[in-house]
Amino acid sequence: MDLIEKYFSDFTPRQLDQFRALEDLYKDWNSKINVISRKDIDHLYENHVLHSLAIAAAFSFPPGARIIDIGTGGGFPGIPLAIFFPEVEFLLADSINKKLTVVKEVAAAIGLDNISTRHTRVEEIRDRKFDYAVSRAVAPLKDLWNWSRPILLKRPSTEEYPASGLICLKGGDLAREISESGVKPSLIEVFDLFPEEYYREKYLLYVHR
């Protein structure tokens, strides 16, 4: 938790309590339903929470915006972002229902009321539109863009907020993946946001609608 406070200093007491509660909640639920690898659970804040918040460090979202987290798994990046942006609505989608059980229980335990969940593949969603899509290491960029593009609104950019689009966290050598995607994403190095060794060769990719 110290790592979160190292890079963000303007949380409300409620947000701090919510972030602090995540460690015990995830350790408890992970012992029942494995959503985080055993080697990672002891580094929850660095490997999962702060990593998710790289999106918040680079982008701001307007109140009332609707965001879908594609393949949320145990709730990343959706839950940390929902804590960070309490006035933004998040839909956390995953094809594995037991992972969403953890998401719902964690959200309920910390009083996080700006998220909903859906047990589905994102390509099957036809009834809702979103301002932004976020994702973390779920699928190749080409697939993520093909899935998200049909459900994204066309919100133009402003001085404060980015245009509607896909924002995803990825790592490693992305040259081939970007080439095969057919899009030209903006690229931000997470290490430039959080200069910790863990974030070397980890990136934020943004493709606007």
Cβ atoms of 155 and 133 within 8 Å: the answer is no
- Check whether 136 is labelled as a binding-site residue: yes
Strands (E), the chain: 66-70, 89-94, 115-119, 132-136, 165-171, 186-189, 202-208
Strands (E), 86-201: 89-94, 115-119, 132-136, 165-171, 186-189
Give the residue among 158, 164, 169 at the shortest CA–CA distance from 130.
164
Residue in this structure with the two tokens 């049909």, named with its chain if needed: 150
User: By three-state DSSP, how is residue 12 classified?
Assistant: coil
Q: d(Cα 107, Cα 113) in Å, to the nearest integer?
A: 7
**Amino acid present at 161:** Y
Instruction: Give the residues across from 188 on adjacent strands.
Output: 204
**φ and ψ at residue 159, rounded to 5 degrees:** -60, -30
- Check whether 71 is labelled as a binding-site residue: yes
- Check whether 189 is labelled as a binding-site residue: no
Q: List residues forming the annotated binding site.
A: 71, 76, 122-123, 136
Q: List residues forming the annotated binding site for S-adenosyl-L-methionine.
A: 71, 76, 122-123, 136
